[in-house]
């Protein structure tokens, strides 16, 4: 049985078979190795598919069994080429397309960098550009081991680099040691936990350090909540020495925030025309065929859409098709109604509250009021919130208690 690809390449036929001895006809075809598929019909008439190669061996069998065979349809590459043999432009375009794809497959058209956090992607791309690792470079000119070594040498926080070519993509995977020695030293240095906001302490869980404040007490901005100094006492409850650590605690403080937001009642609205001008362009890298890069004129919007056909995820190329749409508009001055202004103010306030919730800050009270005047809409009031309000402050001076002399009792 031929595969579908082989049948397409060699060509195949849809046949109508008629005769009074079709059973004998089919038996002789099977004896001589002729293969039919999708055989349908009954009695003295059948329809079936047969390859061109087997069809040429069919004539002697038809004569012996007095069977008549008619060709209903022709399929496959040979018939397609014969039908379009006069369309030279089509075949030239096909060959040109195949040649371009073959040529593009030998170059890098996308550099993908992942895993970088402290080192920005533009900085790494600029460095690769200095090493001639750029968009469109030939694959044979790249040495992945050399690229990995040069990146590790240039960027001190990079501990591991993997560079590999996947299709027409250069994939660079990076692992960084984002915590430098200075950061480690600063992170391990003794520090106090001080209040970031003034308010009332509603919760405190101390893991390390000496609590200075208690739940229910008030605190001011900059006031120490948990001290990094731990007093070591003897059996007489006298301070023998002080040890300094990094204070660590979860402190929830209820504090007040002043909220104010305003926007003008008058605004500019764009009224677009129904008609739009559409143009197209074909691009290969920096070259363009068709319309040039559009520039928006006064009272005009330009929308550019680029379409890139990628045969697979690994194969990219610089060829793109671009659709450009230009729409003219007129600017009209409008004024918000009371309902519209209040609704917009509520939406803006809800966005702020949503941002607080994402940061783990709970809203206890919302005392914001919306007022309207002739020129603007003003939202103003007090927000009472609960959230973590502790920040580190390094201990710059470490002191020890004075030594005491023990005198023998007389």
Could you tell me which residues come within 8 angstroms of residue 397 by beta carbon, excluding any fewer than 6 positions away? none
Residue 196, domain member (yes or no): yes
For residues 73 and 44, membership in a common domain is answered with yes
Residue 12, domain member (yes or no): yes
Given a contact cutoff of 8 angstroms between Cβ atoms, the answer to whether 216 and 200 are in contact is yes
Domain of 215, in residue numbers: 190-252
Q: Give the per-residue pLDDT at 247.
A: 92
Asked whether the CA dihedral 83, 85, 86, 87 is positive or negative, the reply is: positive
Give residue 111's Cα distance to chain centre.
15
Residue 182, domain member (yes or no): no
For residues 204 and 135, membership in a common domain is answered with no
Q: Give the per-residue pLDDT at 187.
A: 55
Widest Cα–Cα separation across the chain: 144
Select from 166, 171, 173 the least CA-distant residue to 310. 166
Return the half-sphere exposure (C-beta side, CA atoms, 13 A cut-off) of residue 348. Answer: 18
Please give the model's pTM, rounded to 2 decimal places: 0.52
Given a contact cutoff of 8 angstroms between Cβ atoms, the answer to whether 240 and 185 are in contact is no
Counted domains in the chain: 5
Residue 302, domain member (yes or no): yes
- What are the pLDDT digits (tens) for 13-29? 999 999 888 888 888 98
For residues 344 and 298, membership in a common domain is answered with no
Residue 393, domain member (yes or no): no
Q: Give the per-residue pLDDT at 183.
A: 44
Residue 354, domain member (yes or no): yes
E-assigned strand segments in 136-215: 158-166, 169-176, 191-195, 199-208, 210-211
Those residues of the chain that have pLDDT short of 70 are 1-2, 178-187, 285-286, 309-317, 403-410
CATH no. for residue 21?
Answer: 3.30.70.260
CATH no. for residue 132?
Answer: 3.10.20.310
Given a contact cutoff of 8 angstroms between Cβ atoms, the answer to whether 49 and 15 are in contact is yes
For residues 196 and 168, membership in a common domain is answered with no
Residue 261: exposure state from Cβ atoms within 10 A (0-12, 13-18, ≥19) = middle
For residues 292 and 242, membership in a common domain is answered with no
Residue 14, domain member (yes or no): yes
Q: Give the per-residue pLDDT at 119.
A: 87
Residue 99, domain member (yes or no): no
Return the percent helix, strand and coil in the chain, to nearest 5.
Answer: 25, 45, 30
For residues 221 and 155, membership in a common domain is answered with no
């Amino acid at each position: 049985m031929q595969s579908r690809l082989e049948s397409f390449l060699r060509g195949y036929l849809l046949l109508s078979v008629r005769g009074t001895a079709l059973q004998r006809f089919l038996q002789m075809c099977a004896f001589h190795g002729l293969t039919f598929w999708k055989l349908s019909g009954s009695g003295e008439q059948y329809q079936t598919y047969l390859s061109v190669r087997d069809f040429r061996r069919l004539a002697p069998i038809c004569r012996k069994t007095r069977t008549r065979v008619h060709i209903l349809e022709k399929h496959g590459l040979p018939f397609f080429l014969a039908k379009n043999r006069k369309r030279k432009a089509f075949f030239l375009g096909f060959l040109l397309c195949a040649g371009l794809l073959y040529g593009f497959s030998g170059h890098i058209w996308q550099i993908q960098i992942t895993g970088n956090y402290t080192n920005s992607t533009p900085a790494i791309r600029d460095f690769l550009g200095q090493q001639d690792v750029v968009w469109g470079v030939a694959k044979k000119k790249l040495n992945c081991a050399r690229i990995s070594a040069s990146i590790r040498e240039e960027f001190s926080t990079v501990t591991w680099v993997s560079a590999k070519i996947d299709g027409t993509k250069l994939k660079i995977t990076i692992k960084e040691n984002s915590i430098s020695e200075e950061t480690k030293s600063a992170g391990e240095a003794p520090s106090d936990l001080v209040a970031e906001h003034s308010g009332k302490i509603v919760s405190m869980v101390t893991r390390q350090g000496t609590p200075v404040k208690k739940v229910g007490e008030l605190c001011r901005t900059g006031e120490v909540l948990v001290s990094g100094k731990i007093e070591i006492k003897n059996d007489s409850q006298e301070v023998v020495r002080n040890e300094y650590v990094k204070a660590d605690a979860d402190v929830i403080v209820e504090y007040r925030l002043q909220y104010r937001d305003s926007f003008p009642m008058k605004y500019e609205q764009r009224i677009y025309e129904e008609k739009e001008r559409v143009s197209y362009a074909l691009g290969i890298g920096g070259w363009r065929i068709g319309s040039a890069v559009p520039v928006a004129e006064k009272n005009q919007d330009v929308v550019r859409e680029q379409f890139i056909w990628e045969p697979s995820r690994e194969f990219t190329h610089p060829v793109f098709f671009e659709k450009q749409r230009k729409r003219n508009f007129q600017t009209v001055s409008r004024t918000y109604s009371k309902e519209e202004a209040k609704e917009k103010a509520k939406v803006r306030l809800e966005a702020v509250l949503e941002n607080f919730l994402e940061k783990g800050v709970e809203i206890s009270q919302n005392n914001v009021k919306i007022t309207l005047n002739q020129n603007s809409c003003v939202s103003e009031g007090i927000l009472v919130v609960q959230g973590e309000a502790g920040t580190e402050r390094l201990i710059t001076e470490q002191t020890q208690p004075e030594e005491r002399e023990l005198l023998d009792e007389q």
